[in-house]
């Protein structure tokens, strides 16, 4: 049996959607489970949509998820290049050979004529598709079109009758009638090449033997199977590879089989989109979701581990994954589960790892420099255990601890109105004096000050602590106050408490 070779090949025209990430993940898991090869290929043949920024974003999102590739951009490999815009000479050579073999033909219709044809089909109640009008043009008509300045596209001749069967690991055998598969374009009028041709050429040239992708592409599979056959007939692709200096296909290469993965849907069971909230991997990263948790939840979107326990490590996912347990029904992307799993995972992190994972979020908020000082690192390490039970995403820690890293804090107006009134001025005056005179600067000692003040003034602990919290943090919410204050410089704490007395309502 040939070594499993799978691929993920996004078009770099935006961010990496979680649906695309799920497809990449399933391919990666299968490669790692079987000891196969995971190929990352960039399909940028549509130059009107592809951007370098999007390609960079795709790469960064894949690296964030931990989906390392064996061959592809920034890694290389024996069957590159792995960016399709760098392989245009090969596609052109293949197109020329297909034309010479009579497998494709020139079609000269203008976009307006094709639109008119589509509308006529719609009025007649027929499915849209190319009607084949230029399949067998006389030479004189071709010359007339060229004289008009028309530039042809290349279309593949699909069979007129019969059926094609797609053997799919998820759906089983699926039959399509050739009469329903219209002749399709493989080379545009500007001589660039479509997804169908570039994808089929690269799958065969790179030895891909399993294509796992979204089930919205199942209906396109007959076209690809037809192209696989045409490219392998009479060594057409092998000759094009050799003629253009590309490496020969793997010696055990076979045409790919397929596994079409279920659609990803939101809570309303409609295709996942921005109307459901975040759908980009990078957005979940910015919100503070851990990559292994996002991978865990995405793995469960369409695949069942066959066990009651759903929380799994990446190693466990690799060990258990199989295409046989991928379902056909649309898969719900459960953001509530993602949030719950993430909170559970944060609780499992030790102080040092949690501090390390929090630092980039404090960097992004301008609270820490790129390289934190030893003092800042110690402060963050001390805050970690105070945050662990209070956050479900890493980004949620930022507003809770921002005051710890700022030289000056601004007092929130709503917090001032609620907590800096009545006896708050008296509380702040006494707290400032007693904190300044406190012998041991520790959480327990600071809590003792607050409890002593509460008993002395006849107030609840909250009535003592909240004015101090607002004075020091600027808000009414923070990690446990005594332990947090103990991590800060005493002089800074006392100064903020004294300064806040001026804001107490009369």
- Answer yes or no: do 159 and 302 share one domain: no
Query: Catalytic residues, which ones?
Result: 274
- Answer yes or no: do 386 and 453 share one domain: no
> Does 422 fall in a domain?
yes
What is the per-residue pLDDT for 81? 96
- Answer yes or no: do 220 and 290 share one domain: no
Owner of token pair 């012998």: 439
Q: Is the peptide bond before 81 cis (omega within 30 degrees of 0)?
A: yes
What is the per-residue pLDDT for 241? 98
Cβ-based burial of 189 (10 A; exposed 0-12, middle 13-18, buried ≥19): middle
- Answer yes or no: do 253 and 306 share one domain: no
Residue ending a domain, among 261, 277, 301, is 261
Residue ending a domain, among 261, 280, 312, is 261
**pLDDT tens for the 506 residues of the chain, in order:** 789 999 999 988 889 999 999 999 999 999 999 999 999 999 998 777 888 899 999 999 999 999 999 999 999 999 999 999 999 999 999 999 999 999 999 999 999 999 999 999 889 888 888 988 899 999 999 999 999 999 999 999 999 999 999 999 999 999 999 999 999 999 999 999 999 999 999 999 999 999 999 999 999 999 999 999 999 999 999 999 999 999 999 999 999 999 999 999 988 888 887 666 678 999 999 999 999 999 999 999 999 998 778 999 999 999 999 999 999 999 999 999 999 999 999 999 999 999 999 999 999 999 999 999 999 999 999 999 999 999 999 999 999 999 999 999 999 999 999 999 999 999 999 999 999 999 999 999 999 999 999 999 999 999 999 999 999 999 999 999 999 999 999 999 999 999 999 999 75
Burial 36-62 (b: 16+ CB within 10 A, else e): bbbbbbbbbbbeeebeeebbebbbebb
* Separation CA 479–CA 246 (nearest Å): 60
- Answer yes or no: do 16 and 111 share one domain: no
| CATH code: domain of residue 9 | 3.40.50.620
> Does 105 fall in a domain?
yes
- Answer yes or no: do 92 and 239 share one domain: yes
- Answer yes or no: do 123 and 157 share one domain: yes
Q: Is the pTM of this model over 0.85?
A: yes
351-364 and 397-405 helices, crossing angle to 10°: 80
What is the per-residue pLDDT for 174? 96
What is the per-residue pLDDT for 276? 64
Residue ending a domain, among 293, 311, 337, is 337
- Answer yes or no: do 61 and 198 share one domain: no
**Structural domain count of the chain:** 4
| Exposure of 333 in the CB half-sphere (CA atoms within 13 A) | 26
- Answer yes or no: do 196 and 287 share one domain: no
- Answer yes or no: do 427 and 417 share one domain: yes
> Does 394 fall in a domain?
yes
Which residue segment(s) compose the domain that 315 sits in?
5-80+262-337
What is the per-residue pLDDT for 275? 64
């Amino acid at each position: 049996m040939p070594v499993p070779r799978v691929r993920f090949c996004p078009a770099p025209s935006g961010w990496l959607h979680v649906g695309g990430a799920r497809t990449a993940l399933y391919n990666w898991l299968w490669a790692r489970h079987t000891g196969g090869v995971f190929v990352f290929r960039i399909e940028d043949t549509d130059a009107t949509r592809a951007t370098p920024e999007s390609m960079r974003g795709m790469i960064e999102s894949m690296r964030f998820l931990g989906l390392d590739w064996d061959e592809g951009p920034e890694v290389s490999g024996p069957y590159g290049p792995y960016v399709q815009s760098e392989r245009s000479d090969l596609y052109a050579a293949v197109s020329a050979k297909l034309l010479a073999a009579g497998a494709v033909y020139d079609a000269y219709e203008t976009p307006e004529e094709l639109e008119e044809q589509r509308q006529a089909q719609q009025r007649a109640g027929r499915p849209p598709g190319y009607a084949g009008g230029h399949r067998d043009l006389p030479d004189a008509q071709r010359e007339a079109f060229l004289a008009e300045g028309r530039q042809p596209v290349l279309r593949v001749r699909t069979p007129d009758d019969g059926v094609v069967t797609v053997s799919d690991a998820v759906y089983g055998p699926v039959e399509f009638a050739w009469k329903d598969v219209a002749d399709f374009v493989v080379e545009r009028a500007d001589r660039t090449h479509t997804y169908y041709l570039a994808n089929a050429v690269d799958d065969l040239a790179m030895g891909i033997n399993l294509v796992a992708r979204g089930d919205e592409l199942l209906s396109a599979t007959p076209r690809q199977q037809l192209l696989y056959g045409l490219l392998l007939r009479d060594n057409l692709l092998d000759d094009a590879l050799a003629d253009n200096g590309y490496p020969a296909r793997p010696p055990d290469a076979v045409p790919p089989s397929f596994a079409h993965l279920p659609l990803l849907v939101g809570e309303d069971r409609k295709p996942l989109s921005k109307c459901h909230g975040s759908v980009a991997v990078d957005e979940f990263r910015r919100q503070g979701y851990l990559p292994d948790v996002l991978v865990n939840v995405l793995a469960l979107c369409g695949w069942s581990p066959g066990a009651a326990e759903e929380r799994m490590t990446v190693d466990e996912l690799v060990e258990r994954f199989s295409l046989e347990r991928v379902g056909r029904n649309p898969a719900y992307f459960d953001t509530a589960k993602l949030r719950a799993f993430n909170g559970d995972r944060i609780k499992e992190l030790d102080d040092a790892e949690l501090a390390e994972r929090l630092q980039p979020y404090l960097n992004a908020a301008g609270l820490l420099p790129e390289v934190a000082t030893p003092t800042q690192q110690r402060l963050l390490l001390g805050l970690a255990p105070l945050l662990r039970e209070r956050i479900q995403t890493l980004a949620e820690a930022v507003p809770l601890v921002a005051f710890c890293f700022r030289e000056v804090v601004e007092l929130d107006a709503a917090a001032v109105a609620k907590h800096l009134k009545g006896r708050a001025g008296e509380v702040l005056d006494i707290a400032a004096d007693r904190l300044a005179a406190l012998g041991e600067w520790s959480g327990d000692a600071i809590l003792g000050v607050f409890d002593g003040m509460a008993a002395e003034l006849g107030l609840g602990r909250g009535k003592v602590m909240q004015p101090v919290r607002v004075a020091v943090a600027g808000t009414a919410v923070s990690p446990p106050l005594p332990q947090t204050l103990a991590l800060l410089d005493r002089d800074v704490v006392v100064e903020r408490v004294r300064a806040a007395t001026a804001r107490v309502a009369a």
